[in-house]
Amino acid sequence: MASKAFSKLNALTSTLGKAAGKPIRIGVMGSGNWGTAIAKICGENAREHPEIFDTQVHMWMYEETVPYQGEQRKLTEIFNSTHENVKYLRGVRCPSNVYANPDVRDVSSRSDILVWVVPHQFVERICHQINGSVKSGSVAISCIKGVSVQEESVSLFSDVIQKHTGMYCGVLSGANIANEVAREKFCETTIGYDPDDTVNPRFTPEVISALFYRPYFRVQMVKDVAGVALGGALKNIVAVGAGIVDGLGLGDNTKSAVMRIGLMEMQNFGHVFFNCDRLTMVEQSCGVADLITSCLGGRNHHCAVAFVQTRKPMHVLEKELLNGQKLQGAATAKEVHAFLRHHNRVHEFPLFTAIYRIVYEGMPPEDLINVI
């Protein structure tokens, strides 16, 4: 069934690609754990569909010096000679048509589709850095899981990117632990993409799907962009809750309860503040499936287990345990809490609130189950 659908998609994208003229240039903004895995996928597809995409994919790499084979070397130089991101995705070889580019403005100015995969705390700064260099008529896809909160308002990063750069921005999110996707273990993802008619008609949903679909990475396209973005952001809070449960040594039943209540709060938040389709959270990979995988095996879960066991602050554990990778769940819990408090709706989201209080206000983790 799936492969039939994909042959249809292949035929369609090939026709579209040929009709459209110049190959579409792809840039990936970010080269962390997920950024590198996404660049690998885009590189494989650019190579497989030369009738649609320029075969070289530029991945913006925030330059760092790292120890490598007994000396200090630039991460870009190591990547461009070995095709391995030795700091953030060790042990995975990317296709040789993925080029690590340390110049963020060069990547933005050459790309027709710019795929954003940076930890959410860096987005606004990068938008300012590339100001004036974005290619006219280009579009973006955000793979970022988080929300931008100004106390009185909460924005999706797709909207932040669109506001600062002028690019229409869709969202990719799903049950996608980077280390597994990069090793080509099968999973699904969801792309929220609903451009209006001011967006270049070349960038059809079929073209966007062709950029990401792999036999091991099944893509579902939907129009509920906000629902896709919020699923990825809010599940990170719930994953912290699941980690707290495991850190306390409570059982799978307790963890399932936290996951169920978390899913309800994710759905309610999306519905109340963004008028999202409630079904997105229960039918798509970006909702319930991402919630499950993150509560079982994600970084937020692991660090929350360590939080309960050591009582060290989350930002300390992030540094100690993640080798430069970034956590999103605790920060998102704090931001969402500030927003809910401002709107006097904290009581409608008891799980999100309890997780915030445990992580930031010294509430005993043991009290989690008394307040949800």
Ligand X SMILES: O=P(O)(O)OC[C@H](O)CO
Ligand Y SMILES: NC(=O)c1ccc[n+]([C@@H]2O[C@H](COP(=O)([O-])OP(=O)(O)OC[C@H]3O[C@@H](n4cnc5c(N)ncnc54)[C@H](O)[C@@H]3O)[C@@H](O)[C@H]2O)c1
Check: CB of residue 225 under 8 Å from CB of residue 195. no
Q: Show the site string, 43-82: x = touches ligand Y by CB under 6 A, - = not.
A: -------------------x--------------------
Check: CB of residue 66 under 8 Å from CB of residue 31. no
Residues within window 188-247 making contact with ligand Y, judged by CB under 6 A: none
Could you tell me the smallest distance in angstroms from the CB atom of residue 369 to ligand Y? 27
Q: Comparing C-alpha atoms, which of 58, 327, 1, 2 is closest to residue 187? A: 2
Could you tell me the smallest distance in angstroms from the CB atom of residue 236 to ligand Y? 7
Q: Is residue 235 flagged as an active site residue? A: yes
How many of the other CB atoms lie within 10 Å of CB of 250?
Answer: 17
Q: Is 27 in the site for ligand Y (CB under 6 A)?
A: no
Could you tell me the smallest distance in angstroms from the CB atom of residue 102 to ligand Y? 10
Q: From residue 362, give the alpha-carbon distance in Å to each of 91, 164, 242, 357.
A: 39, 37, 18, 6
Stretch that binds ligand X, among 62-70, 75-83, 169-177, 197-205 (CB under 6 A): 169-177
Residue from 59, 208, 237, 239 touching ligand X (CB under 6 A): that is 239
Nearer to ligand Y, 33 or 101 (CB): 33
Residues comprising the binding site for substrate? 145, 299-300
Nearer to ligand Y, 16 or 259 (CB): 259
Q: Is 100 in the site for ligand Y (CB under 6 A)?
A: no
Residue from 25, 40, 145, 337 touching ligand X (CB under 6 A): that is 145
d(CA 40, CA 46): 10
d(CA 355, CA 333): 7
Q: Comparing C-alpha atoms, which of 11, 89, 96, 1 is closest to residue 57? A: 96
Number of residues that bind ligand X (CB under 6 A): 13
Q: Is 28 helix (H, G, I), strand (E, B) or coil?
A: strand
Among the listed residues 40, 87, 235, 255, the single catalytic one is 235
Residues within window 301-360 making contact with ligand Y, judged by CB under 6 A: 324-326, 328
Positive or negative CA dihedral for 313, 319, 320, 322?
positive
d(CA 93, CA 77): 15
**Residue closest to ligand X (Cβ):** 298
**Residue closest to ligand Y (Cβ):** 32
